């Protein structure tokens, strides 16, 4: 199997196998560590930057329908659960919202009846009691997109948190390959060795082990998930034969955790959510109102 294929299958294989496991001995510890997906230390809000583009800060609270999705919060009854996004807020939803809303505000003006009507009209039949000015309407839309039921699955909180931490570790490692002076010096020396390919791979693999496995432990539910996922990633990169394969593998692994293929997600959910993402990725040159309408179909 190619490196790209291994990376792409990382989440469906490794993480889904982890999701299938129930560790009763760690379940009690998960309760105190649990961080509800949907919370953010920064207050949620929307603003215009100097270029007239929309910027969303923080993460909105759950919408009413999202709150209705039941999750287990009692470790004695099984693994503590989050409402887990399949398409993540920071990775997918927020950038799409910012892009579409920026287009709408540029097309219809920063404020006024024309913009307000353009925002409200497609919401009829989808949302109730939409009030406030144009900013309030845009923030309400963002809240509903974040809480779109089709994109949420009740599933293990420890894996949910572990995915976020592992993804940042992988991305930090990717950045170090080009930005870290000490590492690039080691690579430069390796390039002058009789077998530069092997020497560079030794440097890369040592760095991967330190970044991904350094300080890991299994003394809590989340740390246990992080450790197991990182061990599997190290196993993947150890199979790479060339530095370019190593970098590609890390990128594939990083990308693989932007879509959470939970075992509890129904096939229709997965198909519809991915179809929506493909549609939004392909319509970036369409008129603002068409992109806005397309974005709202996640709520249908």
**223 contact partners, CB below 8 Å, separation of at least 6:** 216, 217
**Distances in whole angstroms, Cα of residue 151 to Cα of each of 80, 100, 223, 229, 255:** 19, 19, 26, 23, 18
Q: Among 30-34, 114-118, 122-126, which is the least confidently predicted range?
A: 30-34
Report which of residues 5 and 87 the model is more confident about: 87
Q: Among 85-89, 113-117, 140-144, which is the least confidently predicted range?
A: 85-89
Q: What is the mean pLDDT of residues 153-175?
A: 89
Does residue 1 have a pLDDT over 70? no
Whose CA is closest to 122, among 102, 144, 106, 153? 144
Report which of residues 270 and 7 the model is more confident about: 270
**pTM for the model:** 0.71
Whose CA is closest to 183, among 95, 243, 255? 243
DSSP 193: S
In this prediction, residue 263 carries a pLDDT of 61
Cα distance between residue 75 and residue 58, in whole Å: 28
Please write the tens of the pLDDT for every residue from 10-65: 433 444 444 334 333 333 332 222 333 434 557 999 998 988 899 999 999 999 99
**Distances in whole angstroms, Cα of residue 146 to Cα of each of 57, 59, 66:** 13, 8, 9
In this prediction, residue 253 carries a pLDDT of 85
In this prediction, residue 264 carries a pLDDT of 67
Evaluate whether 60 touches 146 at the Cβ level (below 8 Å). Answer: yes
User: What are residue 243's phi and psi, to 5 degrees?
Assistant: -55, -40
Q: Among 34-38, 169-173, 218-222, 277-281, which is the least confidently predicted range?
A: 34-38
In this prediction, residue 215 carries a pLDDT of 79
Residue 157's pLDDT band (boundaries 50, 70, 90)?
confident
In this prediction, residue 38 carries a pLDDT of 39
Percent of the chain with pLDDT over 90: 64
Q: What is the mean pLDDT of residues 171-185?
A: 95
Cα distance between residue 34 and residue 71, in whole Å: 12
Q: Among 19-28, 98-107, 284-293, which is the least confidently predicted range?
A: 19-28
Largest CA distance in the chain: 71
CA torsion 221→223→229→232, rounded to 10°?
-120
Classify 150 as helix, strand or coil.
Answer: helix
Residue corresponding to tokens 């307000």: 116
Residue 270's pLDDT band (boundaries 50, 70, 90)?
confident
CA torsion 155→159→162→163, rounded to 10°?
-70
CB atoms within 10 A of CB 242: 13
In this prediction, residue 218 carries a pLDDT of 79
Burial of 251 (0-12, 13-18, 19+ CB in 10 A): middle
Does residue 107 have a pLDDT over 90? yes
In this prediction, residue 255 carries a pLDDT of 72
Sequence-separated contacts (24+) of 263-272 with Cβ below 8 Å: 263/16, 263/19, 263/20, 263/155, 264/19, 264/153, 264/154, 264/155, 265/86, 265/153, 269/86, 269/150, 269/151, 269/153, 270/86, 272/150
Please write the tens of the pLDDT for every residue from 223-248: 998 999 899 999 999 999 999 999 99
In this prediction, residue 146 carries a pLDDT of 98
Cα distance between residue 29 and residue 23, in whole Å: 11
CB atoms within 10 A of CB 278: 10
């Amino acid at each position: 199997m190619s490196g790209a294929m291994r990376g792409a299958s990382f989440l469906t294989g490794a993480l889904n196998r982890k999701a299938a496991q129930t560790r009763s001995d760690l379940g009690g510890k998960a309760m105190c560590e649990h961080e509800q997906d949907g919370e953010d230390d920064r207050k949620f809000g929307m603003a215009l930057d100097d270029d007239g583009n929309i910027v969303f800060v923080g993460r909105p609270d759950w919408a009413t329908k999202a709150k209705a999705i039941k999750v287990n919060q009692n470790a004695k009854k099984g693994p503590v659960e989050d409402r887990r996004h399949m398409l993540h807020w920071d990775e997918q939803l927020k950038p799409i919202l910012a892009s579409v809303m920026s287009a709408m505000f540029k097309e219809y003006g920063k404020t006024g009846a024309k913009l307000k009507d353009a925002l409200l009209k497609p919401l009829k039949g989808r949302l109730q009691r939409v009030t406030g000015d144009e900013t309030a309407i845009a923030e309400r839309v963002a809240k509903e997109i974040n809480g779109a039921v089709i994109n949420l699955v009740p599933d293990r909180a420890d894996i949910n948190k572990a995915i976020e931490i592992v993804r940042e570790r992988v991305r930090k490692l990717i950045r170090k390959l080009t930005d870290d002076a000490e590492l690039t010096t080691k690579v430069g020396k390796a390039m002058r060795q009789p077998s530069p390919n092997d020497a560079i791979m030794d440097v890369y693999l040592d760095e991967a082990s330190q970044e991904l496995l350094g300080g890991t432990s299994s003394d809590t539910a989340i740390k246990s998930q992080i450790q197991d996922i990182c061990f599997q990633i190290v196993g993947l990169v150890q199979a790479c034969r060339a530095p370019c394969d190593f970098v590609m593998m890390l990128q594939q692994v990083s990308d693989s955790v932007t879509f959470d293929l939970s075992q509890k997600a129904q096939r229709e959910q997965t198909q519809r959510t991915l179809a929506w993402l493909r549609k939004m990725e392909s319509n970036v040159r369409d008129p603002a109102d068409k992109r806005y309408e397309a974005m709202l179909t996640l709520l249908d």
